[in-house]
Homo-oligomer: A and B are copies of this chain.
């Protein structure tokens, strides 16, 4: 493996000194880029793109050509595990993900196996290997997975949901079945992320996109507990470096202390919390990733730059800040604004590092 030329992102996750604040952007390889749309058109469906390691590599690297980003993230979907379990993931144009099979009973859960990442999910590991080779040490590669709770919501609802009636119905009425499902998912995520690390991922992030739909008590019992199990089961080191793990619970601002206590290295924030408050609450324990409202990218360059300066200043001097949006970048923003964002973070970040 080639030497890592830019390790700002990895160092910041471990709260080590850096020259300026690193930045990457959730969903940085995506539909807002014309070159992504071109590759996607060439690939066929969204899942065809995910399952083709060379094309997945192509779109992973596209944003790095345009912007001075400090990390690449594997191009894939959060629902590859349930798909590998046999549920039949598909996407209808203009709609969210859907499954052909849904999980509705204890028997459905019992019938599920734990996928072997180098078999049913080999296309993901191949993509990691190709991307890592093509990156050639330019920046680190982030692997990722959905959290067990987030995966379970799609598996029980059969797709996206507004109010999670089915999966929460199971949670309140048949918690034993849901715990069995979550435990299988946690085991699957551990194998999946460890295989990504073995294939070349240098940090991993768990996306708990729907954790914020829970109550404080059910969040701990049905989401956090399984993320904690995953953190404990992950490979700690690769290529002689620590492999940091980031937990991102959208809507989890009220539970930062609980999230930080899982043993993760960093906590991802959405935009509903001031990063200064987050640092006061958990900054002595973990690094913090975030947290600009993605909608700021609809504004003019000076508004974007002012917002960057405010967030950097709110976090303040010292280690442990990774700049990001509070959620994935939107499809309809102007790609030129992303350059403004990335350059502003690096330029104005310097003063907070010595």
Say yes or no: is A119 at the interface (Cβ < 8 Å to chain B): no
Say yes or no: is A299 at the interface (Cβ < 8 Å to chain B): yes
Shortest CB-to-CB span from A315 to chain B, Å, is 14
**Stretch from A3-11, A48-56, A105-113, A269-277 contacting the other chain:** A269-277
**B residues in contact with A123, CB < 8 Å:** none
Shortest CB-to-CB span from A46 to chain B, Å, is 18
Interface residues in A56-112 (C-beta closer than 8 Å to B): none
Q: Judging by beta carbons under 8 Å apart, are A272 and B163 in contact? A: no
Say yes or no: is A294 at the interface (Cβ < 8 Å to chain B): yes
Q: A216-B274, A272-B254 are in contact. Are A163 and B303 (CB under 8 A)?
A: no
Q: Judging by beta carbons under 8 Å apart, are B172 and A273 in contact? A: no
Q: Give which listed residue, B214, B293, B307, contacts A272 with CB less than 8 A.
A: B214
**B residues in contact with A214, CB < 8 Å:** 272
**B residues in contact with A172, CB < 8 Å:** 293, 295-296, 298-299, 303, 307
Q: Judging by beta carbons under 8 Å apart, are A295 and B164 in contact? A: yes
Say yes or no: is A212 at the interface (Cβ < 8 Å to chain B): yes
Which size class do A's interface residues fall under?
A: 20 to 34
Say yes or no: is A253 at the interface (Cβ < 8 Å to chain B): yes
Say yes or no: is A165 at the interface (Cβ < 8 Å to chain B): yes
A272 to B250, CA, bound (A): 12
What is the count of identical protomers in the complex?
A: 2
Q: Give which listed residue, B165, B171, B273, B332, contacts A165 with CB less than 8 A.
A: B332
Say yes or no: is A284 at the interface (Cβ < 8 Å to chain B): no
Q: Give which listed residue, B168, B273, B298, B299, contacts A293 with CB less than 8 A.
A: B168
A307 to B173, CA, bound (A): 12
Say yes or no: is A17 at the interface (Cβ < 8 Å to chain B): no
Q: Judging by beta carbons under 8 Å apart, are A212 and B330 in contact? A: no
A3-36 near B? 1/0 per residue, CB < 8 Å? 0000000000000000000000000000000000
Q: Could you show 11 A-B contacts with beta carbons less than 8 Å apart?
A: A164-B295, A165-B295, A169-B295, A172-B293, A172-B296, A173-B299, A215-B271, A215-B293, A216-B272, A217-B274, A251-B272
- List chain A positions with a Cβ less than 8 A from chain B: 163-165, 168-169, 171-173, 212-218, 251, 253-254, 271-274, 277, 293-296, 298-300, 303, 307, 330, 332
Closest A-B pairs by Cβ, 4 of them = A168-B295, A169-B298, A172-B299, A173-B299
Additional A-B contact list (17), CB under 8 Å, known A173-B303, A217-B274: A163-B294, A163-B295, A163-B330, A164-B295, A168-B293, A168-B298, A169-B295, A172-B295, A172-B296, A172-B298, A172-B307, A212-B272, A215-B272, A215-B293, A216-B273, A216-B277, A251-B272
